[in-house]
């Protein structure tokens, strides 16, 4: 590549990177194909309906009303479908309401981050507490398929987003 073209490519790439840094919403799509079947795992957009279903499921899991939470943690919510398992997977942190001491206390420890799974064709999420997922030596409460970890850009065999 000639030096002029390299400079232009670097300038354009840097501009795109800086533009992305100023954004508060990150929508990325990624896929991972199985070498044996060709089935493709995709990240999915977290719609308001999906967000509400995750929040409702997590609140019920923690035996609190959904109103005790104000939403999911921005930048730490993930959603994907894995055709190999025929399951949807999600991961999200909960943002407690400033008016709910039980939710605030519950999100400090094991309930601070949650993993979710549900089989295609069902609407019920199974919720797993994973507040310790980032702690060395802790075990994942849910084995997330490697194809899902790849499209989420998480480390292999992990159950928590990279920091």
Of residues 34 and 150, more confidence is placed in 150
CA distances from 131 to 29, 47, 48, 123, 161 (A): 26, 24, 24, 24, 11
Q: Alpha-carbon distance 63 to 61, whole Å? A: 5
Which residue has better confidence, 122 or 132? 122
Structural domain contains residue 68: yes
More confident residue, 41 or 1: 41
User: For position 160, what pLDDT does the model report?
Assistant: 85
- Report the distance separating Cα 128 and Cα 124, nearest Å: 13
Per the model's pLDDT, the better-predicted residue between 39 and 90 turns out to be 90
Decide which of 108 and 143 is more confident. Answer: 143
In a domain, 137, yes or no: yes
pTM: 0.74
Instruction: State the average pLDDT over residues 46-53.
Output: 96
Measured between alpha carbons, how far is 90 from 116 in angstroms, rounded to an integer?
Answer: 5
**In this structure, are residues 104 and 55 in contact, taking their beta carbons and an 8 Å threshold?**
no
Within a domain: 13: no
Euclidean distance between CA atoms 135 and 18, whole angstroms: 32
Q: Does the structure show a pLDDT above 50 at 41?
A: yes
Q: Tell me if 61 is assigned to some domain.
A: yes
Q: For the segment 87-125, what is each residue's pLDDT rounded down to a tens digit?
A: 999 999 999 999 999 999 988 865 678 999 999 999 999
Which range (14-18, 91-95, 126-130, 137-141) has the least confidence? 14-18
CB neighbours of residue 127 within 10 Å: 23
Model confidence at 147: pLDDT above 80: yes
Residue 21 is classified by DSSP as H
Distance of CA 161 to CAs 14, 42, 127, Å?
25, 17, 17
Residue 53 lies in domain? 27-152
Domain contains 11: no
Q: How far is it, in rounded angstroms, from Cα 148 to Cα 90?
A: 10
Overall domain count for the chain: 1
Q: Closest Cα to residue 105, out of 62, 61, 66, 142?
A: 62
Q: Is residue 88 part of a domain?
A: yes
158 within domain boundaries: no
* pLDDT higher than threshold 80 for residue 44: yes
pLDDT tens digits, 59-93: 999 999 999 999 999 899 999 999 999 999 999 99
> How many CB atoms neighbour CB 57 within 10 A?
21
């Amino acid at each position: 590549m000639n030096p002029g073209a390299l400079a232009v490519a670097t300038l354009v790439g840097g501009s795109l990177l800086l533009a992305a840094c100023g954004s508060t919403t990150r929508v990325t799509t990624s896929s991972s194909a199985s070498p044996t079947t060709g089935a493709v795992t995709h990240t999915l957009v977290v719609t308001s309906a999906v967000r509400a279903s995750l929040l409702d499921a997590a609140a019920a899991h923690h035996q609190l009303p959904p109103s005790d939470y104000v939403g999911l943690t921005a930048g730490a919510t993930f959603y994907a479908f894995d055709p190999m398992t025929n399951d949807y997977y999600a991961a999200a942190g909960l943002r407690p309401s400033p008016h709910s001491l039980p939710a605030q206390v519950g999100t400090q420890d094991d309930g601070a981050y949650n993993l979710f799974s549900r089989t295609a064709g069902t609407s019920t999420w199974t919720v797993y507490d994973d507040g310790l997922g980032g702690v060395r030596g802790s075990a994942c409460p849910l084995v997330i398929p490697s194809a899902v970890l790849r499209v989420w850009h998480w480390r292999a065999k992990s159950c928590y987003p990279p920091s």
